[in-house]
Amino acid sequence: MKAYRARLLRFDDASGQPLYDEDGLLVVGPDAHGQAVVRAAGAHAALIDRFPGVAVEDLRPRLITPGFVDLHIHYPQTDVIGAPAAGLLPWLENYTFPHESRFHEPAYARGVAEFFLDELARNGVTTALTFATSHPASVNAMFEAAQARGLRFITGKVLQDRHSPDGVRDHTEQSLIDTEALIRRWHGVDRLGYAITPRFAPTSTPAQLRGAGELAAKYPDVWIQSHVAENLDEIRWAAELFPDSASYLGVYGDFGLLRERAVYAHCIHLSAADRALMARTGTVAAVSPTSNQFLGSGFFDYAAADAAGMRYGLASDVGGGTSFSPFRTMLAAYVVGREGQTKPGLSLTPAQLWWQHTAGAARALGLEGVVGNLLPGCEADFVVLNPQATPLLARKTAQAHSLDELLFALIVLGDDRVVERTVIAGR
């Protein structure tokens, strides 16, 4: 067992409200299966006598928070960040598809996977739901790298059997055989999970989507990830290709791809009926504000999502997104929240933004009480943040008189320099 004395942030499971101790203690130790978990978290004064003899590392004035959970990211697009293309479809055609075609090569995929995981760790992200490419080798490379680091991590082979160039386009039947083989090989091994991954409706035939839906029904605790309602040209295209579906989101519903553990990036241009469908099916929106700003896609409507009772959480969407840093994503989300704001005050409070990227994102994945929080029993994935990492941050956080002021200073001014340590499974 080991204990850390620091400022300590975690969240109430039921309400999502922050629980904060200015002088906190986090106690970590193995559970009955040998997995490193949180044994206790709270005020130092209230807990210290319960753990005599346990070594305490004093990290004050640093802040310990749950590791960040990125709900949607593409590891093969690490090198596509900042590609100069106007809008989603030209960006895919001119940069993303040609680049992704390189991932059939296992050694290349492995190298990018390792760099990507280093980058996640440097930025304090401890769990991600990531796209691979259409090549099974890209999935194996990612799982092997994540397994070696002991991460709780989810990925899957992209399905795209039409409207895709040579080099990334797959074959309907083989793509489904490959998907099932990868589920059987990787899902539930150590801390790894599989996601059935149709790229988006326009690049899959109805037969491929039907097969994906059948696998989703056969393996109900496997995740599903895709994109929806990101861009107006994309939405027009989907409507032309699937004229019998009520909407773009409805296409996925028609093939059995809306359910708990299904995560759709963007969800910008949805109707009220679409939002109700998401809420009814337990489908999750991965809000990707830096991507939406960079590609000019639009703004996620927080007020409408809340009114519908939709689940959502935050995502970087690298490489459409422009940063691995949760701080950049939270700041962009705050700005986006103001767009559709219906009530006075802050669009989203700093604690709400933080929750959407930690406990809220974990809840959206069905991993509540597993990751994204530091309540007793949660897996011991957390970050140590230095509020004095830069001169400006030191000055600003010294003036913070509340948790909101401290968190907002970090969100506005923070980046990877703030992340002093990223702890995975207690290490």
Q: In the complex, what is the shortest distance from the CB of residue 317 to ligand GUN, in angstroms, rounded to a whole number?
A: 5
Query: Does the footprint of Fe ion cover residue 317 (CB under 5 A)?
Result: yes
DSSP 340: T
Q: In the complex, what is the shortest distance from the CB of residue 88 to ligand GUN, in angstroms, rounded to a whole number?
A: 6
Within positions 79 to 108, which residues make up the interface with ligand GUN, using CB under 6 A? 88, 92, 96
Within positions 43 to 82, which residues make up the interface with ligand GUN, using CB under 6 A? 74
Q: Which of 248, 242, 213 is nearest to 227 (CA)?
A: 248
Q: What is the distance, to the nearest Å, from the Cα of residue 185 to the centroid of all Cα atoms in its chain?
A: 23
Indicate which of ligand GUN, Fe ion, none lies near residue 199 (CB less than 5 to 8 Å, by partner kind). Answer: ligand GUN
Question: Which positions from 121 to 150 touch Fe ion by CB under 5 A, shown as an x/- string?
Answer: ------------------------------
Q: Which of 29, 82, 22 is nearest to 54 (CA)?
A: 29
Q: Which stretch binds Fe ion (CB under 5 A): 97-105, 171-179, 183-191, 315-323?
A: 315-323
Q: In the complex, what is the shortest distance from the CB of residue 74 to Fe ion, in angstroms, rounded to a whole number?
A: 6
Question: Which positions from 275 to 294 touch ligand GUN by CB under 6 A, shown as an x/- string?
Answer: ----------------x---
Q: How many residues bind ligand GUN (CB under 6 A)?
A: 11
Indicate which of ligand GUN, Fe ion, none lies near residue 62 (CB less than 5 to 8 Å, by partner kind). Answer: none
Give one DSSP letter per residue of 161-220, joined into a string: -SSS-TTT---HHHHHHHHHHHHHHHTTSTTEEEEEEE--GGGS-HHHHHHHHHHHHHST
Between 28 and 88, CB nearer to ligand GUN: 88
Other Cβ atoms less than 10 A from the Cβ of 192: the count is: 19
Compute the distance between CA of residue 162 and CA of residue 204 in angstroms, rounded to an integer: 6
Between 315 and 374, CB nearer to ligand GUN: 315
**Which tokens in the block code for residue 44?**
């130092």
Q: Which of 57, 103, 51, 52 is nearest to 77 (CA)?
A: 103
Q: What's phi and psi for 57, nearest 5 deg?
A: -95, 125
Q: In the complex, what is the shortest distance from the CB of residue 248 to ligand GUN, in angstroms, rounded to a whole number?
A: 11
Between 6 and 154, CB nearer to Fe ion: 154
All residues at 6 or more sequence positions from 264 whose CB lies less than 8 Å from its CB, including other chains: 225, 226, 227, 228, 249, 252, 278, 283, 284, 285, 286
Residues 271, 298 contacting (CB under 8 angstroms): no
Compute the distance between CA of residue 231 and CA of residue 93 in angstroms, rounded to an integer: 15
- Element (DSSP H or E) covering residue 249: helix 248-254
Residues 21, 8 contacting (CB under 8 angstroms): yes
Indicate which of Fe ion, ligand GUN, none lies near residue 357 (CB less than 5 to 8 Å, by partner kind). Answer: none
Q: How many residues does the chain have?
A: 427
- Element (DSSP H or E) covering residue 241: helix 232-241
Q: In the complex, what is the shortest distance from the CB of residue 200 to ligand GUN, in angstroms, rounded to a whole number?
A: 4
Q: Indicate the SS3 state at residue 68.
A: strand
Query: Does the footprint of Fe ion cover residue 100 (CB under 5 A)?
Result: no
Indicate which of Fe ion, ligand GUN, none lies near residue 96 (CB less than 5 to 8 Å, by partner kind). Answer: ligand GUN
Within positions 221 to 250, which residues make up the interface with ligand GUN, using CB under 6 A? 227, 230
Other Cβ atoms less than 10 A from the Cβ of 217: the count is: 11
Between 96 and 347, CB nearer to ligand GUN: 96
Q: Which of 62, 99, 199, 261 binds ligand GUN (CB under 6 A)?
A: 199
- Element (DSSP H or E) covering residue 138: helix 136-148
Q: Which stretch binds Fe ion (CB under 5 A): 12-20, 121-129, 150-158, 263-271?
A: 263-271
Between 317 and 381, CB nearer to ligand GUN: 317
Between 72 and 191, CB nearer to Fe ion: 72
Q: How many residues bind Fe ion (CB under 5 A)?
A: 2
Q: Which of 158, 176, 265, 378 binds Fe ion (CB under 5 A)?
A: 265
Q: Which residue is nearest to ligand GUN (CB)?
A: 320
Q: Which stretch binds Fe ion (CB under 5 A): 236-244, 260-268, 295-303, 411-419?
A: 260-268
Indicate which of Fe ion, ligand GUN, none lies near residue 88 (CB less than 5 to 8 Å, by partner kind). Answer: ligand GUN
- Residue type at position 420: E
Q: Which of 66, 213, 313, 320 binds ligand GUN (CB under 6 A)?
A: 320
**Which tokens in the block code for residue 401?**
């008189």
All residues at 6 or more sequence positions from 172 whose CB lies less than 8 Å from its CB, including other chains: 161, 205, 207, 208, 211
Q: Where along the sequence are the contacts to Fe ion (CB under 5 A)?
A: 265, 317
Q: Where along the sequence are the contacts to ligand GUN (CB under 6 A)?
A: 74, 88, 92, 96, 199-200, 227, 230, 291, 317, 320
